[in-house]
Structure 1
Amino acid sequence: MKKRIGLLYGGKSAEHEVSLSTACAVTGALNFEEYEVYPIFITLDGEWRRGKRLVKPASTIEELQFGDDAIILENNITNFLIDDNGKAVQFDVIFPLLHGTNGEDGTVQGLLEVLNLPYVGNGVLASSAGMDKVIMKQLFEIAGLPQVPYMYFIRSEWANEQEAILARCEKTLTWPMFVKPANLGSSVGISKASNREELTKAIEVALQFDRKIVVEQGIVAREIELGVLGNDFPEVSVPGEIKPMTDFYDYDSKYKDGSTVLIIPAELSTEVVADLTDYAKRAFKILDGSGLVRADFFVTANNEVYINEVNTMPGFTPVSMYPLLWQHTNVNYPELINRLIELAIERYEGKQQLHYKKD
């Protein structure tokens, strides 16, 4: 029998468009002879819609946003569990292709847990901790992973202590600094600051996207990424290097203008690759990861390695690093999708063995 897959994508997030691109790419990698694919779209306003069962890959992003024939699930979002004929659908796996807040941060994962549905990717804890850069960094400290200096604050502190925060940044860190929303990915809202005026502007930009802000020490280093795949016994891909032609690896260079060179595998010493592999596994395990993670690092000219962050639902667009890393580790795109689905079922079956009452 074919496995029934629910593709969940879109989302009320600044990374909505990235999710649509990912969903479109994934439909092109799924074997429709092996899977029944049901599209479930979340609009930018948070409205859930279910389209008709897909029988072939989506040719455009617009096709995945549905027309007048969409079923709007405004009264009960769990109606996505009903098929086109009004009968209950028993999904083998939900594939959440959601990036950013309201999707990658543990919220949707919590819903799927309550509904007792198997789903691809990280669980509630890993998703929420991996989304919040401050919590992530604090866990990395516990795991003994080297990081660049940083500080953080929330919107209300900025409103009341702006001068003190700027002074603390200048005392604790050196120029340049990178300002990031704590709970976003895909480089949304990230700016580089080389003086106090730019720092103030960068903080104001980041505050449009989150109430918690991270300011990190700039570092002259190569940007290296690795893919992690698995559950309890994760595998790590070859490393890849990002060489942005712009000042840094921002949203446009990732998804729009193609102004970034990806070098896979990256030219690194055996010792550095061993450290990167070890750190990637340790980061995955401290988060209690499952399924997949992309681990991002800095490597200096002196071969010092610093972990930057992990992404618990990395993009699957044609130019995304995660699938390219595995392609160069002899796991092609369709096989990668299949592996993720198998890992989701494996984790779900393990959870079904838990006892919820005393004998």
Structure 2
Amino acid sequence: MGHSAPAPTNSHRKLVIVVLGLAALITTMLCAFALPSLHSGPHRIPIGVTGTQQAAQDLQRGLDGDTWDVDVYASTSELQAAVEGQDVVGGLALQPGKLDVYTATAGAPSATGAVTALGDTLAADRNVAATVHDLVPFTQDDPRGSGLTAALMPMIFGGIFPALILGGVFPGHRGLRTRLAGAVLFSLVAGVAVAAVLQFGTHSITGDYWLNAFGVVLGMTAMSTTLLGLQALLGMGGFAFGGALMMLLGNPLSGLATGPHWLPSGWATLGQLLPPGAAGSLLRTNAFFDSATAGLPALVLTGWIVFGVALALIADRRGRRSPQAFSESVVVRQSTQADPQPAPAVSGR
């Protein structure tokens, strides 16, 4: 007689769940990295135009569409202020016999190339000369902004490492508050150091150093507290989910290397709402644009910090009510009451 196959054990079911989960993670990673890159390009890039009223309006009607989002400005000075204030990524000033192109390479490197090419095309059509004015360039020591782009990975790992290492050094419910305090302290020290390297070591950024450092600290704190909160509430599964969110989605969708307008609109919006994208935008605007658009990314990062701390507080409250935490507190109290002091010996005469 044949023997029936044994029923699947819990280990088998766990193995299937882990394999399927890893497959889903790899698929998500492919989508996050590949799809935005395949569809990258100019998507509603905000630019400004100025000149005579009729010429500027004609240019606006001709360009406005899926590629360009065109605003008309009354004067060249207003257009320049809009570029320097990050209201637009570039602009075109139509003048008699010439065309001036205004860009801000530090704000949107890929879009700057597209605006420059657009200016050359329009100038050729009008048989005039095009002059490019880069109002906000990268630094002379780092003209391509390599240091700014590279800063994103230390900020991401600055959020992942504290949650991972502090969780091993201070495990369990009793170490939760220590882990949270350690993550904030680490973000403070590491953020100040990263900003110092970028500004004084590689000379990749300019602006007020302490404001730049504050942006990096805020970004690291947002990522580390979020990961710690997910880890405390959901265990290693929560940590894995948070790490994938930061690395696999936040990194490619940050737009730090190209500018967010080079990604499809939906992906770009999502990227700016995740900590890596918000941290990169905050560092960029602090370093090159006098914090012109710092409000939104700072608010996003603050929201993630509040979210992470809230998760940690929920986990802390749940841990205090758990039987294990209660038994641990009983053991601690008993240990303090045990081993009474021996009576002093009486010396004989």
Considering the TM-score relative to the shorter chain, is it more than 0.5? no
Larger radius of gyration between Structure 1 and Structure 2: 2
Instruction: Please give the TM-score of this superposition, normalised by the length of structure 2.
Output: 0.26
Instruction: Please give the TM-score of this superposition, normalised by the length of structure 1.
Output: 0.26
More helix by share: 2
More strand by share: 1
